[in-house]
Amino acid sequence: MSIGNTLLGLLEAGPKHGYDLKQLYDKQFRQDRPLHYGQVYSTLNRLLKNGLVEENGVEAGGGPDRKRYAITDAGVTNVEEWLKSPENPSVYLQNTLYTKVVLALLSGRGAQDLLDAQRSSHLRAMRELTARKTDGDLADQLICDHALFHLEADLRWLELTAARLDDLARQLTR
């Protein structure tokens, strides 16, 4: 996810302090990636330098002065273009699990135990996500569904690979 574009999108509702942006980000996108304050302020500085936000007042407080940021017209255009552009699909043509299967077969160790352990790990993660989804709000349900669908696809691959292990082993040792 682009943190800069996300912060710009949150600023479209009106000027905010870095602290407020972090709180709003965590409320809306908290799932498993909380945003650190340092990342908020370094991103805001970059957006300011690039002309996508501007300072919109400073308030004195008990600590350092609090700058308020507002999105510029260029920032709005940037968000509009970002929202219109599709994300690149994640294609996993080379992943660690496949590499482990091949190396296990090449070394004569076999890969069935590896696939069984991975299946157990996926099923455990799916149970945790299902429980979280059951207790969560709509946003949590949607993000959990996304993760569950990916885990289901991985499980299908694990089953297919297990069914083809002997053929793969023969092909690799030719």
Residue spans of the domains in the chain: they are 3-84, 96-173
pLDDT of residue 1: 57
CA 58: distance to chain centroid?
A: 33
Architecture of domain 3-84: Orthogonal Bundle (1.10)
Whole-number pLDDT of residue 7: 95
Kindly state the tokens that stand for 65: 């002065």
DSSP 34: P
Q: Which has more pLDDT, 102 or 63?
A: 102
How many alpha carbons lie under 13 Å from residue 50 in its C-beta half-sphere?
16
Describe the crossing of helices 165-172 and 138-163 by its angle, rounded to 10 degrees: 60
| Residue 69 bridge partners (DSSP) | 16, 55
Burial class (CB in 10 A: 0-12, 13-18, 19+), 53: buried
Structure tokens at 165: 């292990």
pLDDT value at residue 2: 86
CA distance 139 to 118: 28
pLDDT digits (tens, 9 = 90+) for 111-148: 999 999 999 999 999 999 999 999 888 988 999 999 99
The tokens for 139 are 């946003």
For residues 85-106, average pLDDT = 82
Dig out the tokens for 144 from the structure.
């959990």
Residue range 1-41, pLDDT digits in tens: 589 999 999 999 999 999 999 999 988 887 667 789 999 99
**Cβ within 8 Å of residue 76, ≥6 positions away:** 8, 12
pTM: 0.69
Q: Which amino acid does the sequence have at 34?
A: P
